[in-house]
Amino acid sequence: MNLTIGDVAKRIGLPAKTIRYYEEIGLVDPLRDSNGYRVFRDSDLHKLTFLGRARALGFTINDCRTLLALYEDETRASSDVKAVAQKHLADIEAKITDLQAMHATLSHLAQECSGDGRPDCPILKGLSGG
C-alpha cells in the first residue's frame, strides 16, 4: 500500500497543503497513481523531512532549494553548505538584535505606564515623539 499525502503529512509533521505547495514550486516531485493520487517514494520522504527541518531552522524556501541541491549533489563542497548556514546565522543574529532593541524601548515605556483608568500614558507619549 502506498502512503497517501495525508499519511506522509502525519509522518513528516507538515500539513498536506504545504506538501502540495512544495510540489508546485518544484521542491519535490512525487509519482502519481492511476487514480491521480500522489505516490511518495523514500527519496520524497527524505526530501520532505529535510525541508521540514530546514524550514524549522528558519531557512527561506530559496535557501532550502539551494540546500536541497547540495544535499542531492554527492560532489558538493561542505564550504558551500557552511556559507549558506553562516549567512543565515548572521540574519538570525540581526533579527534578534532588532527584537531586543524593540523590547528594551517598549518595556521601558510600559514600565512607566501606570496602567490604570487614567488617560495619561507614557507609551503614547513615547510613540508620538514626546
Partner DNA sequence: GTAGGGCTTCCTGTCACTGGAAGGTCAAGG
Partner DNA sequence: CCTTGACCTTCCAGTGACAGGAAGCCCTAC
Note the residues at the interface with DNA (CB under 7 A).
Answer: 4-7, 15-18, 20-21, 34-38, 55, 60-62
Residues sharing a CB contact under 8 Å with residue 13, sequence separation 6 or more, in sequence order: 52
Task: By CB under 8 A, tell whether 13 contacts a second copy.
Answer: no
- Smallest separation, CB 120 to DNA (Å): 27
- Of 105, 123, 125, 127, residue with least CA distance to 114: 123
Partner interacting with residue 86 (select from a second copy, DNA, none; CB below 5-8 Å by kind):
a second copy
H/E segment holding residue 41:
none
- How far is the C-alpha of 106 from the C-alpha of 122, rounded, in Å? 10
- Smallest separation, CB 8 to DNA (Å): 8
Give the CA distances from residue 99 to residues 35, 42, 72, 92, 96, in Å, rounded to whole numbers and listed in that order. 49, 40, 36, 10, 5
Site string for a second copy, 58-97 (x = CB under 8 A): x--------x--xx-xxxxxxx-xxx-xx-xx--xx-xx-
Residue type, 93: E
The site for a second copy (CB under 8 A) is made up of: 46, 49-50, 53-54, 56-58, 67, 70-71, 73-79, 81-83, 85-86, 88-89, 92-93, 95-96, 99-100, 102-103, 105-107, 109-110, 113-121, 123-124, 126-129
